[in-house]
Amino acid sequence: MKIEPPNTNSKKKKVLRAECAESPTIDLELVTPAIDVPVAADQVILQQELVAQKDDYLRLAADFDNFKKRTRRDSEQQAAVQKEAFIADLLPIIDNLERALASGRASSSEQLHQGVTMTLQQLDQLLQRHGIAVVEDVGRPFDPHRHEAVSVQHDPNQLDQIIIEVLQRGYCHGDKVFRPAKVIVNDLSQAPGASHAG
Among 130, 163, 178, which residue terminates a domain?
A: 130
Residue 156: left if φ>0, alpha if ψ -120 to 50, beta else—which one? alpha
68 CB neighbour count, 10 Å cutoff: 10
Tally of structural domains, the chain: 2
d(CA 91, CA 99): 12
Considering the domain architecture, whether residues 22 and 73 belong to the same structural domain is answered as yes
What phi and psi, each to the nearest 5 degrees, are found at residue 158? -115, 160
Q: What value does the mean pLDDT of the chain take?
A: 79
Considering the domain architecture, whether residues 121 and 152 belong to the same structural domain is answered as no
Among 110, 130, 150, which residue terminates a domain?
A: 130
Contact in structure between 135 and 171 (CB atoms under 8 Å): yes
The per-type count for the chain, helices as H runs and strands as E runs, is: 4, 7
Q: What is the pLDDT of residues 50-101, one digit of tens each?
A: 999 999 999 999 999 999 999 999 999 999 898 888 888 888 888 877 777 7
For 21-78, give the DSSP string: HH-S---HHHHS-TT-HHHHHHHHHHHHHHHHHHHHHHHHHHHHHHHHHHHHHHHHHH
Which residues span the domain enclosing 110? 1-130
Percent of the chain with pLDDT over 70: 74
Considering the domain architecture, whether residues 58 and 118 belong to the same structural domain is answered as yes
Q: What is the pTM of this model?
A: 0.52
Q: What pLDDT score was predicted for residue 104?
A: 61
Among 105, 130, 155, which residue terminates a domain?
A: 130
Query: Which CATH number covers residue 150?
Result: 2.30.22.10
Considering the domain architecture, whether residues 100 and 141 belong to the same structural domain is answered as no
